[in-house]
Amino acid sequence: MPSLDETIETLRAALKLSPDNLPLRMLLGENLLASGRLEEAEREFTVALALAPSDLKLAVSLAQACFGNGKYSQALVIIEDVIRKSDAPPKAFLLYARLLLNEGKLASAQENYNQAKGLDPSLRDATLEERLGLKGDSGQSSIRENREQRPIGATASGEMREVEGAKDSAYGSDNYLASEFDDLVETADTGFADVGGMDAVKEQIRMKIIYPLKHPETFKAYGKKMGGGILLYGPPGCGKTYLARATAGEIEARFIPIGLHQVLDMWIGSSEKNLHEIFEIARKQKPSVLFFDEVDALAASRADMKQTYHRHTINQFLNELDGVNTSNEGVLILAATNAPWHLDSAFRRPGRFDRIIFVPPPDTAARASILRIILKGKPQENIDFEFLAKKTEKFSGADLKALVEDCIEKKIEEAMSKGSEPKPITTKDLEKSARSVKPSTAEWFSSARNYALYSNESGLYDEIAKYLKL
């Protein structure tokens, strides 16, 4: 019997011959999910959904991959859309229960778990019932006991966990710092030259971060300190994370990327401790760029939260940004979000994320530049990048990368089927792939448009309105 990895490779080979075969791609995604190769599974389910956008089971599978990857906000958006449908599969309610539990919404999580189990009794999960405080056949603890004894959180894989002795860890433990978070520190090997387009965004970052570092005397003369925060927002796949890493490379600073799973912990008080220790590492490594991805999940509006321990985490985040107990000078804080409208307004005050920058899909010139960067070093022949840029309106950087990958796969398939050497990539090849790869930014702009039209009293979304010509 072939191993799981062998099965995956067989499915990949079959897909090269039949890339639009939906059952094959779904099967590949499920096998990748089962093997724990979550990023790959996410990519396959995304492609499959483009082929069958109304397939709810596919959407649930994609949400499962996102959940396992720690992309809770993305998983939540997908699942909430699924459960609105009258024919939503039972697994959707089960995953929704896990996501709600991850957010501390116990009552709603219980309700959705019971609905999943009612639709399909085989979905019963004794471990999840224990987390939810539901009495089962084995006599699980009450809801009250569960709240007191089992604080809520999640690991990077999305599974709920208990941490032995986590409550006893104190702030500022050097041993803890060394063992838990030192591996997060990176040496950035990219700069702005590696980022296609985005000249206006780069200039704003230069003014806020780079110039104060390189010309401190000029800024000190006006009482300006090096540090502070920038919030990057815009559609997914438009280069926010890459831009943050390039910023660190531009100033030869340490880069410290932080995901939600590195902060949130199930024990009350532990998430605050994690935040403090992460900031301490950044302070010890200065100059450093501390980058928070999907920051809306960490800094969501406190007014919308019923759980006090989530509010405590946000308050700790604000205290660290303010440098309440120590200076943040030399610590440059960048954060990215796809949903700035979910961010607590306190984060936008001076000294925190006081510069908010819209990162739109690349314009025509930027798309040409990105395509040049992606295709660098690959066999090519007389490619008209300007022509291709005009053919890929609204494509994100990630969409352009997907376009090139699609083209390369087709060239390899052609070479394999003919038994010939791979031929150079041409403009025609890329144009063909551009017709099969659809831009992923439309859904985001659909939501953003509403905020720009109806929730823009402060002018926060003026750039979106300008971009959409509202």
In terms of pLDDT, which residue wins out, 367 or 2? 367
Q: Tell me the torsion sign for CA atoms 285, 286, 288, 294.
A: positive
User: Domain 364-436's class?
Assistant: mainly alpha
Q: CATH assignment of 4-149? A: 1.25.40.10
Q: How far apart are CA 332 and CA 182, in angstroms?
A: 18
For residue range 124-156, list pLDDT tens digits in order: 888 888 888 885 443 333 333 333 333 333 333
Question: What pLDDT does residue 274 have?
Answer: 86
Give the span between the Cα atoms of 171 and 187, in whole angstroms: 26
On the question of pLDDT at 385 being above 90, the answer is yes
The whole-number average pLDDT for the span 429-446 is: 90
Amino acid occupying residue 457: E
* Residues with Cβ within 8 Å of residue 314, at least 6 apart in sequence: 298, 299, 300, 302, 305, 344, 346
List CB contacts of 299: < 8 A, sequence separation 6 or more.
314, 317, 335, 343, 344, 347
Q: For 295-299, 366-370, 389-393, 449-453, which range has the lowest pLDDT when averaged over its residues?
A: 295-299
**Domain ranges, ordered by start, for the chain:** 4-149, 173-358, 364-436
Q: How far apart are CA 9 and CA 23, in angstroms?
A: 16
Return the CATH number of the domain spanning residue range 173-358: 3.40.50.300
Structure tokens at 358: 């819209």
Q: List b or e across 47-82, with b for residues whose CB sees 16 or more CB atoms inside 10 angstroms.
A: bbbeeeeebbebbbbbbbbbbbbbbbbbbbbbbeeb
**The two three-digit tokens of residue 334, written as one number:** 């960048």
Residues 323-379: tens digit of each pLDDT: 766 778 888 899 998 888 888 788 877 778 878 889 999 889 889 988 998 998 899
pTM for the whole structure: 0.58
Q: What is the mean pLDDT of residues 38-44?
A: 89
Phi and psi, residue 316, nearest 5°? -65, -45
